[in-house]
Structure 1
Amino acid sequence: MTTAEIEAYIKQYAPGKVKLAAADIDGILRGKYISTEKFSATLKGDLGFCDVVFGWDAQDLAYENTRFTGWHSGYPDMLLKLDPRTFRKIPWENDIPFLLGDFYDATGKAAHVCPRQVLKKVIADCHSLGFKPYFSQEFEWFNFEETPDSFALKGFKDPKPLTPGMFGYSILRSALKSDFFHDLFDLLAKFDIPLEGLHTETGPGVYEAAITYSDALEAADRAILFKTAVKEIAYKHGIMASFMAKWREDLPGCSGHVHQSLWDEDSTSNLFFDNTEAQGMSTLMKHYIAGQLHCLPHILPLFAPTVNSYKRLVEGAWAPTTLTWALDNRTVALRVLPLGAKSARIETRVVGADTNPYLAIAACLAAGLYGIKHKIVLSQPATVGNGYRDFSNGKLPANLNEATKQMRQSSIAQELFGAEFVDHFCCTREWEWQQFSKAVTDWEMKRYFEII
C-alpha cells in the first residue's frame, strides 16, 4: 500500500487507533497504541519515544553500566520514524493498523543502538558492492498449556507442554491441537508473514516454522514480528509460546537458523551458484563462507545473546559447537546448500530462537561480506561426518561471558558494526552475565544446601 492508501485506511478505521512498535537491543518489541489523529501528525514528522527502551534489560531493570542513557541523562525521548513499508493489519486484533519504526537521535541521525538501523547499514554496504541479500529465518519453539498467571503461580517451574512425547514431523500431534496449529499458519499469512512450512519438531509441544524468504530487511521484520505474533496467537488459545534457547536439559534446544544468499541487483541471478564448479559453489559463496567462519568467534553474542543460549550449543543436541562447514550436514556451524540456480544458499545453524533477528541477520551478512571484501580463501575443507568431532578450526566460545569478552576486544567486530554499537551491546551482555552470576539457582540449592 502507498502512504496515501495507508492514511486512507487508518482514517476510516472505526476504533480510531493505530498500534506501533520498534525493537530494543534484546529483540523485544516495545510499542504503544496511538490515536489516528496522532498518527497523521506522526507521518508528517517524528514521534517521541522514551530512550529507556535502550536503558534497561528484558526485565525492565535499569542498566548501571551503559553510557548511552541512564539516570545520568534523565532518559530523554528519541525520535521514532514509522516505516510505511511495514504496514500491516493484525487479524487477531480486529484488523488494527500496525507499523514498525526506526530510532534516530535528536539530530535526525540513525541511532547507533537501534537494531533495525544496524541491519539497514549493513544492507546498504551490501548494495554498494552490487549485491542484493535475500534471507529467511526459521524458528523452533515450545508451546505450553499455561498462561502467564498460571506459570507465575508455579514459581516459573515445570510448565506443562502442549502435547506429550517427542513426535518430530508428527501428523498426529499437529492434529491434536489443530485449531491452534491452523490459526498460526492462516493468521500469520494474513499478517503478511507467509510460511513455507509448519510442523512439529522432536520434543513435547515443540513446533518449527520456516518463513518464506525475502530481501534481508523484510526477512528481519517478518522474523521479529513472527515471534511476537506467535505468542499473541497462542494467548488466544490459552497457550504460552517460548523461544527460550533451552528450557530443559534433557530436551533439544530451539534454533533460529538463518538462510541466506546474494543475488545481482536485478534479483535475476543467484551469485552463490556456479554450475561450472563441481559442487556448484561460486567463488563469491566461498569467500562468504570463509568470512563467516573467520568472524564467528568475534561476534558470537549476536547469535547467542543470553546466558541460556550456550546451554543449547552443546554436543549432540542439533546445535553446533565447532567452527565448521559442510555440504548438507546438520552437525556443523554452516550448512552449505548449493542446490541450484534458484535455491543455492547458506544456513547459519549457530543462531538460536532467542536472538534479535535484526542483529542475527546483520551479523550473518556483515561477516559474509567481510570475507568477500578481504577475499578470504576458504582453505578449511568441508567437514565429513560428525562436526562435533572436527576441531580443525577451533570451537565456539563456551559461555556468554567468554564470548562477550572476545567481542569487546575485537577490532573485527568494530569494523563490522562500529565502536559505539559494540560498546553498548557488550555492556548489555556484561550486565546479563552479572545478573546471572549473582543469582542463586535451584542447582546450587540441591547440590550444596545440606551436604557441603
Structure 2
Amino acid sequence: MATAKTHPALQAVRKSGASKVKVACSDIDGVLRGKYLHKDKFEGATDSGFGFCDVVFGWDVGDVTYDNTSVTGWQHGFPDALARLDLDTHRQVPWDGNVDFFLGEFINADGTPYPVCPRQTLKRVLARAEKAGFRVMTGMEYEWFNFRETPQSWAAKKGVGPETITPGMFGYSLLRANENREFFNALMDDMLAFRVPVEGLHTETGPGVYEAAIGFSEALEQADRAILFKLGAKEIGSRYGIMPSFMAKWSAQYPGCSGHIHQSLSDGKKNLFYDEKSKRKMSKLFESYLAGQVLCLMEFAPMFWPTINSYKRLVDGFWAPVKPTWGMDNRTASFRVIAGSPKSTRLETRCPGADVNPYLAMAAVIAAGIYGVEKGLKLTAPPITGTNQGAENIPRAPRTLIETTRIFRDSKIAREMLGDTFVDHFAATRDWEWRQWLDAVTDWEMKRYFEII
C-alpha cells in the first residue's frame, strides 16, 4: 500500500514540475471552498494536513455566520480545523492550465473524523455498509437551467429576470443542444478529462435546461464526481457567458431540477439487488433496502431538500414525487425500481433536488437503505401504478424546511445512523436558513401588497 510520500499522485505532481496545486473541501451546503497551495506547502499537507478555517461550517451560502451552532462559532473564535487531502482524488483541471487538483476532508487533531464534515459523514455510512459486507454503488443525475448571465449582470438585475440560453419547452432536442454546442461539447469532453465521466447529456423540458447522468461508480467516488460536476459546469459555463443554476425551482412556470440517485449493493463481484428467481427480479436484500428508504424518507428529508427553495419543487403533479411511494419503472414514484439484468438492476431515489450537497444526500439515502437491511424490514407497501394510483391515502411530504428539520432533529434513526453531533449541527443550520427566510421581504410580497393593501 502506497504511503503519502510514495503515492502515485504525489509522484505525478513532482514530475509535472508544477508550482502550485488546487485543493477544495465541501462546506455544509455542498459548496466547494478551496485555495491554491504552493507545491512545498502541498507536500507538507500530504503528511500532516493543513489548516482550513472552520468557519466553512460556521456560515451559510452568503458567508453570514450562524448564531446557533456549537461545533463552530464566534464563541470558539473560528480557529483552523485540520483538512486532510485524499490523494486518490487527484485530477487535473483542463480549463485551468491542467493544474493538479485534490479534494479533502476534515479531521480532528487526533486524526478521527471531524463529525460535521459532509464527506466524513458519507464515509461513516459507507463504513457501516462495508462492515455488513456491502460495497455501495451509485450514480447521480442532475437537471439544471442555464442562463445568459455573468456574476456582474446577475448582480445588476438584483435577482430578477434571468435570461435563459434558449427559449421554449424542447426536451431531448438536438436543435437546442446545437444552439450552444461549444458549451454542450465542453461539458462532455472537459468533464471526462477532469475524471467526471458523463454517460449522457441532453436538453430537458424547459428553456435552457439540461440533464446529465454521471458515470456509475462506488458511492464516495460518485459523490466526489457529483460535487465536482457542479463546480465544473459553472467554471466551464463562464467561458461561454453562461451561468448554470442548480437551484431546485427558479420559476413556478417550469418543472424543478432534480438530483436523482441510482443505487445498488455489491459484494465486490455481483449485484446483490438482483434475483433471477424473484417475480420482480428483486432480491430480499433489495426489498429490505427499499423498505428502509420508504420508512425513513421524512427522517432524513432536509438532507435531500436542504433549502427554502427545495420545497417549491414539491408540487403535486409536476414530476417531482411528493410521497414515500415506490413503483416498478415508474417515474411518478419517489423510489423507482429498475429491475432488469444482473448488471442494471438498481433503485433510483427520485426525491432529491439538484440543490443537494451530494455527500449528504447520498449519506441520507444509503443510511435509510442500510437501516432497512440491518432491521430486516419487509416491503409491505404495494407499488403504485400509473400516476400515483395506490398512493391516495399516503401522506404527502411537508411543504417547508422547518417542518422537515424538526422531524430530522427529533429522529432516533437519524441520530443512530449519522451521530448526534452531525444531526444537531445540520438541524441548527437549517433552522438558521428558515429564519433568514422569515426575515426576508420578497418580490412576491411587494407585487401582491405594495399598492393594494
TM-score normalised over the length of structure 2: 0.97
Amino acid at match of 1:46: G
Deviations 1:114-140 (A, max 9, x none): 000000011110011111110011000
Matched, 1:30 2:33: yes
- Match for residue 280 of structure 2? 279
1:305, 1:429 within 8 Å by CA — same for their partners in 2? yes
Q: Does 1:440 align with 2:441?
A: yes
Counterpart code for 1:152:
A
Could you say which residue in structure 2 is the equivalent of 1:43? 46
How far the C-alpha of 1:376 sits from its partner, in A, is 1.0
Specify the SS of the correspondent of 2:101: strand
Question: Which residue is equivalent to 2:251?
Answer: 248
Select which of 95, 104, 114 maps to 1:111.
114
Q: Supply the distance in 1 between the matched residues of 2:283 and 2:393 (Cα, whole angstroms).
A: 24
Structure 2 residue 112 is the aligned partner of structure 1 residue 100: no
Q: Shift of residue 413 of structure 1?
A: 1.1
Aligned to 1:331: 332
Q: Which residue of 2 aligns with 1:86?
A: 89
Amino acid at match of 1:280: K
The one-letter code sitting in structure 1 at the alignment partner of 2:99 is I
Q: Distance in 2 between matches of 1:394 and 1:273?
A: 30
The structure-2 alpha-carbon separation of the partners of 1:423 and 1:391, relative to structure 1 and needing over 3 Å to count, comes to: farther
| Structure 1 residue 17: Cα displacement | 0.4
Aligned positions of 1:152-171 closer than 5 A: 152-171=155-174
Distance in 2 (alpha carbons) for counterparts of 1:5 and 1:219: 21
Q: 2:128 aligns with which of 125, 128, 137?
A: 125
Per the alignment, in what secondary structure is the counterpart of residue 224 of structure 1? helix
- Cα distance in 1 between the residues matched to 2:417 and 2:142: 26
| Residue 199 of structure 1 pairs with residue 202 of structure 2 | yes
Alpha-carbon distance, 1:4 to partner: 3.9
Q: Is the 8 A contact 1:380 1:393 kept in 2?
A: no
Deviations 1:227-251 (A, max 9, x none): 1010000011111000000000011
Measured in 2, the distance between the counterparts of 1:418 and 1:388 equals 37
Aligned letter for 1:208?
E
Matches within 5 A, 1:226-265: 226-264=229-267
Measured against aligned partners, the alpha-carbon deviations of 1:235-293 in whole angstroms (never above 9, x if no partner) come to 111110000000000111000000000011xx221110101011101100110111001
CA RMSD of aligned residues (A): 1.3
How much has 1:6 moved relative to structure 2?
2.3
Instruction: Give 2:178's match in structure 1, choosing from 175, 179, 184.
Output: 175
Q: Which residue of 1 aligns with 2:359?
A: 358
CA displacement, residues 13-70 of structure 1 (integer Å, 9 cap, x when unaligned): 4551000000010000011001001111111211011100000000000000111111
1:379 is matched with 380
Letter in structure 2 aligned against 1:256: G
Q: Using the TM superposition, give the Cα deviation of residue 155 of structure 1 relative to its aligned residue in structure 2, in angstroms.
A: 1.1
Taking only the aligned residue pairs, the percentage that are identical comes to 52
| Aligned partners of 2:301 and 2:408 also within 8 Å | yes
Q: Structure 2: which amino acid aligns with 1:26?
A: D
The separation in 1 between residues aligned to 2:272 and 2:310, in whole angstroms, is 32
> C-alpha deviations, 1:153-210, integer Å up to 9, x for none?
1112111001111110001011111111000000000000011100000110000000
Q: Is the 8 A contact 1:134 1:263 kept in 2?
A: yes
Secondary structure (helix, strand or coil) at the match of 1:298 reads coil
Q: Deviations over 1:403-435 (max 9, x none)?
A: 001111111111111111000000000000000
Q: Quote how far apart the aligned CAs of 1:387 are.
A: 1.8
Return the letter of the residue paired with 1:289: L
The AA in structure 2 aligned to 1:105 is N
Q: How far apart, in 1, do the equivalents of 2:431 and 2:294 lie?
A: 24
| SS of the residue 1:59 aligns to | coil
Q: Show structure 1 runs of 5+ residues with no match.
A: none
The separation in 2 between residues aligned to 1:8 and 1:154, in whole angstroms, is: 47
Q: How far 1:446 sits from its partner (Å)? A: 1.4
- Does structure 1 residue 56 correspond to structure 2 residue 59? yes
Residue correspondences, number: 450
Cα pair 2:10 2:87 within 8 Å, conserved? no
In the other structure, the counterpart of 1:208 is: 211
Cα shift at 1:388: 7.7
Letter in 2 for 1:194: P
In the alignment, structure 1 residue 318 sits paired with structure 2 residue 319: yes
**Hey, what does 2:405 align to over in structure 1?**
404
Which residue is equivalent to 1:349? 350
Moved more, 367-376 or 102-111: 102-111
**Aligned residue identity for 1:146:** E
Structure 1 CA distance for aligned equivalents of residues 244 and 272 of structure 2: 37
Q: 2:427 maps to which residue?
A: 426
Q: Describe the superposition over 1:295-324 as per-residue Cα deviations: whole angstroms up to 9, x where unpaired.
A: 111110001000000011111221001110
Paired residue secondary structure (1:34): strand
8 Å CA contact 1:322–1:391 kept in 2: the answer is no
Aligned equivalents of 1:86 and 1:6: distance in 2? 9
The separation in 1 between residues aligned to 2:289 and 2:71, in whole angstroms, is: 33
Question: Amino acid of the residue matched to residue 353 of structure 2?
Answer: G
Report the CA distance between 1:12 and its aligned residue. 4.2
